[in-house]
Amino acid sequence: MQQPCLKVNEIFYSIQGEGPHTGMPAVFVRLAGCSMGCEFCDTRYAFAQGEDMTVAQILAAMSQYPCHNVVITGGEPTEQDFASLASALKKQAWNVHMETNGAQDADVSDIDFLVVSPKKYVNQEMLKKAHAIKIVVGQQTDLEDLKKYFQYANDRTTVCLQPESNLQENIDLCVNLIKQNPFLRLSLQTHKMANIK
Ligand code: SF4
């Protein structure tokens, strides 16, 4: 039977720079394509460029790294058949993390740690499945509107605020909100500060 193909923008080994697992070494599998079209997107290069790879080819490319943490990211992974990849990774005992905008509901049963970062719209079911909700906060953010996500903060779900583009005014906004709502957490894009991929 022919194996499913995914369009892969890049596979690289680095350190998770943001969110609750900041500092964790991981192999990143960036799937190509995203239809959300956010103005502040910092992975536009992944929208169209990519190589068709079977799951077996992806696993082979990952096997050169001395690490069993993987972050499936994009682009937007749920716009492709990420589930085939996640299932194969679980069979090889990878610790599988995934980052999604959560726009469409998806079967994430093979994902060990799901980060949903809501953008223009988000599916409620995906928010309920999230281990972390990461909200990008900038000057254009409707602060009252984002409070609807706060209800998902519990022992299982961390809600992080991430200043858009690490700008100081956005950091200040996040810090103020977190101090008023101490269940929130700050997520900085430390990989950009450290100048690593
Ligand atoms: S959802 Fe994410 S990947 Fe897609 S356009 Fe927005 S920031 Fe970029």
> How does pLDDT run along the chain (197 residues), one tens digit per residue?
667 799 999 999 999 999 999 999 999 999 999 999 998 898 999 998 999 999 999 999 999 999 999 999 999 999 999 999 999 999 999 999 999 999 999 999 999 999 999 999 999 999 999 999 999 999 989 888 899 999 988 888 999 999 999 999 999 999 999 999 999 999 999 999 989 98
Q: Is 41 in the pocket of ligand 1 (CB under 6 A)?
A: yes
Q: What is the pLDDT of residue 172?
A: 97
Of 41, 136, 140, 141, the residue with max ligand 1 atoms within 8 A of its CB, to mutate for a pocket test, comes to: 41
Backbone angles phi, psi at 80, to 5 degrees: -130, 180
pLDDT in tens, 115-158: 999 999 999 999 999 999 999 999 989 888 899 999 988 888 99
Residue 2 has a pLDDT of 67
Answer CATH for 5-193 from 1.20.58.220, 3.30.930.10, 3.20.20.70, 2.70.70.10: 3.20.20.70
- Each domain of the chain, given as residue ranges in start order, spans 5-193
Ligand 1 contact via 104 beta carbon (within 6 Å): no
User: For residues 68-95, b (16+ Cβ closer than 10 Å) or e, as one string?
Assistant: ebbbbbbbbbbbbebbbbbebbeeeebb
Question: Which residue out of 7, 35, 76 has the highest number of ligand 1 atoms within 8 Å of its CB and is therefore the one to mutate?
Answer: 76
pLDDT at 110: 98
Query: What stretches of the chain adopt beta strand conformation (E)?
Result: 5-15, 25-31, 51-54, 69-73, 95-100, 113-116, 132-137, 158-163, 185-186
State the DSSP string of 176-189.
HHHHHSTT-EE---
Query: Residue 153: its pLDDT value, please?
Result: 86
CA-nearest residue for atom 8, ligand 1, is: 41
